[in-house]
Amino acid sequence: MHHNNLANPGPLGLMGFGMTTILLNLHNAGFFPLVSVIISMGIFFGGLAQILAGLLEYKKGNTFGLTAFTAYGCFWLSLTGILLLPQMGLAEKTDAVFLGVWLALWGVFTLFMFFGTLKANRALQFVFASLTLLFALLAIGNITGEKSVLTVAGYEGMICGASAIYLAMAEVINEQLGRKALPVGEIAKA
């Protein structure tokens, strides 16, 4: 009898999201300029690794994981495109208001994805709730031109990214140890 035990691709996707989110939001909070380390992480870890994790979630039959990781991987690739295409002479630079509209659309998508976490663990709920708030702050900051809102978004984004890293490591460590060493706030099944 053949048993197909597939590995959990979630931690890879969560780490790609979490680490890239922290780096970008260190920039948004004013600590670092927007440099190649952020762009590279956006392409390769936030982008490609999340898309890979999403495709692996497909193999496991996880529609939520497929949608989340593939979509947010494409978010990172499109964000790097928004930044790089004008520098390469391939497109006009996007103004802050239209960037805010783009971020608001991602916020709406993320809010709906948050509703999909309501039967999941509290850690995943926090990741999506804090990401919804992050997109709202980034959209408002870009549309209004309020730099202070973008700074607040940077700090909030670092918390969001850190929560994704925590969940990723909790999933890896708990599986490796065969026990719940790092709590994720499991929801009791009715």
pLDDT of the residue at 182? 95
149, part of any domain: yes
**Domains identified in the chain, total number:** 1
Of the chain, the percentage scoring pLDDT greater than 70 comes to 97
3, part of any domain: no
Task: Give per-residue pLDDT as tens, 108-159.
Answer: 999 999 999 999 999 999 999 999 999 999 999 999 999 999 999 999 999 9
1, part of any domain: no
Smallest CA-to-CA distance from 161 within 171, 149, 172, 169 is with: 169
* pLDDT average, residue stretch 35-45: 97
pLDDT of the residue at 4? 62
Residue 87: Cβ within 10 Å count: 9
pLDDT of the residue at 188? 81
pLDDT above 80: residue 3: no
Q: DSSP of 95-125, one letter per residue?
A: PHHHHHHHHHHHHHHHHHHHHTTTTS-HHHH
pTM: 0.94
Cβ 19 vs Cβ 41: under 8 Å: yes
d(CA 185, CA 14): 17
Please give the residue range of the domain that contains residue 91.
10-177
